[in-house]
């Protein structure tokens, strides 16, 4: 499998999903990568305490389902629902090492200035300030408390793009496979199309979506590399269980 190019400004990785369960499990993979990052390789930046995930797609595309999987992968046990009316929901893992902010900007309208005013009135500026790119330091002793991670996932993130940090991970949900059908379930057979540069999880039922991951900076790029490695057929084992 080809490596992600760390020199360019954008790192892209398309994955195909054929059901809500697969989309949920892809979110779970991402959550696990954030909560339990691997040690960085040569030339890669260290993992940080904050992560911002922007979800882009039409109604019913699977954004909330993905966010629910993300929460589960982060260790959040609470029931996650889309904050369509409250705009922002906050969750904390039982172990108190993850805070998840779930944002939905669907109901927002107006130009970027009015959107900024409304979101900042809800405390969005304070939430984004939490995402300072501080290195995630290892615990000196196993008995030390786990470092707190702060994660923000935003549905309809394209409406807030001017307010968000440049280094972020975006996931675009498009209808149709744009290629072969695929799924991400415990029983699936995972194949990689080397020539097309896509990872396919084959099963053949359900409504197909193309989830296009795009990282726009070194930290989000490192996170995307972990997700890609997790669904590499060679290293799959327990990645999607």
pLDDT confidence tier of residue 144, bands split at 50, 70 and 90: low
Range 184-191 average pLDDT: 36
Bigger pLDDT: 51 vs 132: 51
Range 196-201 average pLDDT: 41
- Alpha carbon distance 32, 29 (integer Å): 5
pLDDT above 50: residue 49: yes
Q: For the chain, what percent of residues have pLDDT higher than 70?
A: 68
Predicted TM-score (pTM) of the model is 0.76
Q: Give the three-state DSSP class for 72.
A: helix
Which of 134-138, 168-172, 230-234 has maximum average pLDDT?
168-172
With contact defined as beta carbons under 8 Å apart, do 187 and 86 qualify? no
**Eight-state DSSP code of residue 26:** H
- Alpha carbon distance 52, 145 (integer Å): 23
Give the domains, in start order, of the chain with CATH numbers: 11-134+147-235 (3.40.50.300)
What local confidence, expressed as pLDDT, does residue 204 receive?
41
What local confidence, expressed as pLDDT, does residue 55 receive?
97
| pLDDT tens per residue across span 50-105 | 899 999 999 999 999 999 999 999 999 999 998 988 889 999 999 888 999 999 98
Q: What are the b/e assignments for 211-225, b being 16+ CB within 10 Å?
A: bbbbbbbbbbbbbbb
pLDDT above 60: residue 116: yes
pLDDT confidence tier of residue 196, bands split at 50, 70 and 90: very low
pLDDT above 80: residue 46: no
Q: Measured between alpha carbons, how far is residue 130 from residues 53, 106, 162 in Å? A: 14, 23, 18
């Amino acid at each position: 499998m080809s490596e992600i190019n760390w020199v360019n400004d954008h790192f892209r990785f398309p994955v195909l999903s054929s059901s809500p369960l697969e989309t949920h499990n892809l979110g779970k993979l991402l959550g696990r990568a954030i909560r339990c990052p691997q040690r960085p390789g040569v030339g890669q930046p260290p993992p940080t305490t904050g992560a911002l995930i922007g979800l882009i797609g039409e109604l019913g595309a699977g954004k909330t389902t993905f966010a629910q999987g993300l929460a589960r992968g982060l260790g959040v046990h609470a029931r996650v629902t889309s904050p369509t009316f409250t705009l922002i929901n906050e969750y904390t893992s039982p172990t108190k090492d993850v805070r998840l902010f779930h944002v939905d900007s669907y109901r927002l309208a107006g130009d970027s200035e009015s959107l900024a005013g409304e979101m900042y009135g809800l405390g969005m500026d304070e939430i984004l300030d939490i995402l300072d790119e501080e290195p995630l330091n290892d615990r000196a002793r196993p008995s030390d408390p786990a470092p707190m991670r702060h994660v923000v996932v935003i549905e309809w993130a394209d409406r807030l793009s001017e307010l968000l940090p440049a280094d972020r991970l975006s996931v675009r949900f498009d209808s149709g496979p744009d290629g072969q059908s695929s799924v991400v379930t415990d029983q699936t057979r995972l194949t990689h199309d080397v020539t097309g540069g896509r990872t396919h999880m084959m099963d053949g039922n359900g409504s197909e979506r193309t989830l296009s991951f795009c990282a726009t900076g070194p930290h989000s790029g490192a996170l995307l590399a972990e997700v890609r490695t997790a669904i590499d057929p060679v290293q799959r084992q327990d990645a999607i269980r």
